[in-house]
Copies of this chain bind each other. A is one copy, B any other.
Amino acid sequence: MAPMSKNAPAPSAPTRDRLLDAFEELLVEGGERSATLDSVAAAAAVSKGGLLYHFASKDALVDGLLARLDALAREDADNIRTAPAGPVDYLIRTSVHTGSPLDRAYIAGSRLAQGRDPRAMQVLNEIRRRWLSVIEDAVHDPDTAQAIMLISDGLYVNSSLAAHELTPPSHTDESMTRLITLIGRLLPRST
């Protein structure tokens, strides 16, 4: 029974979002292995049957998360472009864990990509390409833009690896400012 609406373009329920939140959280905190259907359902305070009502399979859950990540990243690209302190400042400062929705979704997506999910890898690559092109527009040298992206990626990896208690807080607001100043030296002195 329950022949499902032909598509699921907009079930738009709060439960659906809670499930995605829970999935994200589990991926971030415990990696791919701990993000099982059972634990996602439990974390969202929904039964497993309830989860499978909203997402017919684990693949569908992954697709849902990736779609959300993609939407968030598109918004972010605009934020970078129009940031008052400039694109580079904004990109670098948001490359450490801020706990923002995009941040969590991005890390969750990375976990999936490390698990070799090709869809996750593709989405992540597209997001990176988008960021790179914004930086390229701001800095008029492709090599410099590339280097800045690499630093941004490095920061991500670092805070992702460090995260959780151990290791001193290496990326303070002050050290970020110093880093951004340093990046200034990469910019061609012309114009």
- Contacts from A to B (Cβ < 8 Å): 29-34, 110-111, 113-116, 121-122, 124-125, 128, 143-144, 146-147, 149-158, 161-162, 166-167, 175, 178-179, 182-183, 185-186
Query: With A and B bound together, what is the CA distance between A68 and B48 in angstroms?
Result: 41
Beta-carbon nearest neighbor of A33 in chain B: B115
Query: With A and B bound together, what is the CA distance between A185 and B178 in angstroms?
Result: 15
Decide if A31 touches B114 in the complex (CB within 8 Å).
yes
Decide if B182 touches A122 in the complex (CB within 8 Å).
no
Decide if A114 touches B32 in the complex (CB within 8 Å).
yes
A131 CB → nearest B CB, Å: 12
Decide if A161 touches B31 in the complex (CB within 8 Å).
no
Query: With A and B bound together, what is the CA distance between A167 and B77 in angstroms?
Result: 21
Decide if A147 touches B32 in the complex (CB within 8 Å).
no
Among B124, B146, B150, B186, contact of A186 (Cβ-Cβ < 8 Å): B186
Query: With A and B bound together, what is the CA distance between A101 and B141 in angstroms?
Result: 35
Query: With A and B bound together, what is the CA distance between A186 and B185 in angstroms?
Result: 6
Decide if A115 touches B147 in the complex (CB within 8 Å).
no
Query: With A and B bound together, what is the CA distance between A175 and B154 in angstroms?
Result: 18
Decide if B161 touches A121 in the complex (CB within 8 Å).
yes
Decide if A182 touches B143 in the complex (CB within 8 Å).
yes
Query: With A and B bound together, what is the CA distance between A153 and B162 in angstroms?
Result: 13
Among B32, B147, B149, contact of A31 (Cβ-Cβ < 8 Å): B32
Query: With A and B bound together, what is the CA distance between A149 and B161 in angstroms?
Result: 14
Among B124, B155, B167, contact of A150 (Cβ-Cβ < 8 Å): B155
